[in-house]
């Protein structure tokens, strides 16, 4: 091992070019000759949209690219502490990347083995790389779980990943990553699917561990707002190339590249609500100039027509306790609200707050335990399935993961026409296909999409297909369940603009469920804050954000990433 030089960069990447084979003859270059350095004891953020090459670059550093379909150019260099990683044997690379470079992946549930306890999985790292025996590994695993903030680590060590929340699973991944006290920690979108409070906790935890263990962090994200909270240096990538690099102050205060400026402005802010959110193309086509827009008014005045009234909604789940007993868990308790026609109710809260359960219960995908949901004065929760069939088309839901909710064996045309068949919309298939083409145009997709399959589209395009499918039934109420949370900031802006356009054209009412409070502030007229199944606060969005009355609401608002703190 080479001697540490405090002035030498911990990791140096030079002219990295990565290609993937698409067939026997052709390949596509996804990373196009990028160069950057990661200094010691610092955090470097790698920022860009999906497909920018940021994750591929990190996998190249870790040696995790698939050898049968990818290749790194011969003149590319990855130097770690003076050693060329690309010249190491597989065994040497594995030993170094397990011990001195480690990685936290975006989705912990796909990275943790569901059939082993978390203690076994942390212990495996310690036994393999540190030579510990089972007793030593267990003792150290408990210490690591405590260090990353897992409550009751002596009992949690024997839990399975499925028995832990998303935030706890991510903490277990961090514990595994720091088990061997690496010099470089790569965090690939570690907070994308987490609630705003858990997200802040994970960001603070990674930063505290970096300082404590004197390591460097490569933080990969598509959200520039997060970058200002954790990074020292920022690298902005697009289409496999570095567009801009500099200190976090330079990037936030005087970004030079138009694309960087676009990323900073696409995300909704808490202090403005433009009529339309700018997207990347707006900047690139306008040389970075922002078009001055009037502000979009939001809120209720009390005189609006009510389309849906929910009274004392309750939903309990039961689990077996002992041989004959059962234990009740109240997921939703005493929830009441009114949804005005053509308006948006934002529903916010942490995981487990009951916000998604409210949406699924209103859709009758869960059976309500108590309460009423009055649609045109009739309780849709107590109706028979036959009675509800008429109302089903008028209340629709857009799920968080469009790929899981679209049939992969159906073409887009079939996906759009199936609900028309079920609900007898259109006289024949010719009329239905014409309506499907109109809807594709309405949601901004080309007519050629009609004959293609869901896997041929990006995440944002698939979400547009899901919205189009809902519109086939001409609904009056749309439940949007985390429908933009997994999207890049620019794609998110496009979908939010589309939802607003559709609301204006068709007078749709939205129940917009999200953990992203900046997005909710932008799109909602009213905001309902939930905690542990109950409504904590309900107010017009501007009033709630300016003057929250409850401590829990203030906690949520304080956790919103605000970018660089001046």
The residue among 132 and 351 whose pLDDT is bigger is 132
CB 166 within 8 A of CB 193: yes
**pLDDT tier, 503 (very low <50, low <70, confident <90, very high otherwise):** very high
Query: Of 200, 151, 139, 150, which Cα lies nearest the Cα of 174?
Result: 150
Q: For residue 98, what is the enclosing H or E element?
A: helix 90-99
Average pLDDT over residues 110-130: 92
Give the per-residue pLDDT at 6.
56
Cα-based torsion angle of the residue sequence 138, 140, 141, 144 in order, rounded to the nearest 10 degrees: 160
pLDDT of residue 268 exceeding 70, the answer is: yes
**pLDDT tier, 122 (very low <50, low <70, confident <90, very high otherwise):** very high
The structure tokens listed for 70 are 């990818």
Average pLDDT over residues 343-368: 91
pLDDT per position as a tens digit, 169-182: 888 999 999 999 99
* Four-residue CA torsion sign, 125, 130, 132, 136: negative
Average pLDDT over residues 521-550: 94
Query: What are the structural domains of the chain?
Result: 1-100+182-254 (3.40.50.300), 113-179 (no CATH), 257-297 (no CATH), 306-559 (3.40.50.300)
The structure tokens listed for 497 are 């603009």
β-sheet bridge partners, residue 253: none
Percent of the chain with pLDDT over 70: 96
Give the per-residue pLDDT at 139.
95
**pLDDT tier, 7 (very low <50, low <70, confident <90, very high otherwise):** low
Average pLDDT over residues 59-78: 92
pLDDT per position as a tens digit, 376-431: 889 999 999 989 988 888 999 988 777 778 999 999 999 999 999 988 888 899 99
Dihedrals φ, ψ of 270, to 5°?
-85, -15
Dihedrals φ, ψ of 108, to 5°?
-65, -30
pLDDT per position as a tens digit, 309-327: 999 999 998 877 777 778 8
Give the per-residue pLDDT at 566.
35
């Amino acid at each position: 091992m080479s001697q540490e030089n405090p002035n030498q960069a911990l990791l140096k990447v030079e002219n990295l070019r990565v290609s993937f084979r698409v067939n026997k003859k052709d390949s596509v270059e996804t990373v196009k000759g990028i160069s950057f350095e990661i200094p010691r004891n610092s955090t470097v953020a790698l920022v860009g949209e999906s497909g920018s090459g940021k994750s591929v670059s990190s996998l190249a550093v870790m040696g995790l690219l698939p050898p049968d379909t990818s290749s790194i150019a011969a003149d590319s260099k990855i130097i770690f502490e003076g050693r060329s990683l690309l010249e190491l044997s597989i065994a040497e690379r594995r030993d170094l990347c397990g011990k001195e470079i480690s990685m936290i992946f975006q989705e912990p549930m796909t990275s943790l083995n569901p059939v082993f306890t978390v203690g076994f999985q942390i212990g495996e790292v310690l036994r393999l790389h540190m030579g510990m025996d089972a007793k030593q590994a267990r003792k150290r695993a408990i210490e690591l779980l405590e260090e990353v903030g897992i409550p009751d680590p002596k009992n949690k060590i024997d839990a399975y990943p499925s028995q832990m929340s998303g935030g706890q699973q991510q903490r277990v991944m961090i514990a595994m990553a720091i088990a061997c006290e690496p010099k470089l920690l790569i965090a690939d979108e570690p907070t994308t699917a987490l609630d705003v409070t858990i997200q802040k906790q994970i960001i603070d935890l990674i930063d505290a561990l970096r300082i404590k263990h004197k390591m460097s962090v490569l933080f990969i994200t598509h959200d520039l707002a997060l970058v200002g909270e954790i990074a020292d240096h920022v690298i902005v990538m697009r289409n496999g190339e570095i567009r801009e690099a500099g200190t976090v102050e330079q990037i936030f205060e005087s970004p030079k590249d138009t694309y960087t400026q676009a990323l900073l402005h696409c995300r909704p802010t808490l202090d403005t609500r433009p009529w339309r959110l700018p997207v990347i193309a707006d900047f690139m086509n306008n040389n970075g100039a922002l078009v001055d827009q009037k502000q979009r008014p939001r809120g209720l005045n009390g005189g609006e027509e009510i389309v849906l009234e929910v009274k004392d909604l309750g939903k309990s789940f039961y689990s077996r306790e002992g041989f004959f007993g059962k234990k009740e868990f109240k997921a939703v308790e005493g929830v009441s609200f009114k949804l005005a026609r053509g308006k948006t109710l934002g529903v916010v809260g942490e995981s487990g707050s009951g916000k998604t359960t409210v949406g699924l219960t209103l859709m009758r995908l869960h059976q309500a335990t108590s309460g009423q949901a009055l649609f045109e004065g009739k309780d849709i929760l107590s109706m028979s399935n036959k009675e509800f069939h008429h109302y089903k088309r008028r209340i629709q839901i857009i799920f968080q993961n469009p790929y899981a909710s679209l049939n992969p064996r159906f073409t887009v045309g079939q996906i759009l026409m199936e609900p028309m068949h079920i609900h007898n919309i259109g006289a024949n298939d010719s009329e239905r296909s014409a309506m499907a083409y109109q809807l594709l145009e309405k949601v901004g997709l080309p007519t050629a999409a009609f004959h293609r399959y869901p896997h041929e589209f990006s995440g944002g395009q698939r979400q547009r297909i899901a919205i189009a499918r809902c519109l086939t039934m001409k609904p009056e109420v749309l439940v949007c369940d985390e429908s933009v949370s997994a999207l890049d900031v620019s794609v998110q802006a496009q979908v939010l603009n589309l939802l607003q356009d559709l609301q204006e054209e068709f007078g749709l009412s939205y129940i917009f469920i999200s953990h992203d409070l900046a997005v909710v502030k932008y799109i909602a007229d009213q905001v309902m804050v939930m905690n542990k199944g109950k409504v904590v606060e309900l107010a017009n969005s501007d009033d709630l954000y300016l003057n929250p009355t409850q401590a829990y609401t203030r906690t949520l608002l304080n956790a919103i990433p605000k970018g660089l703190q001046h």
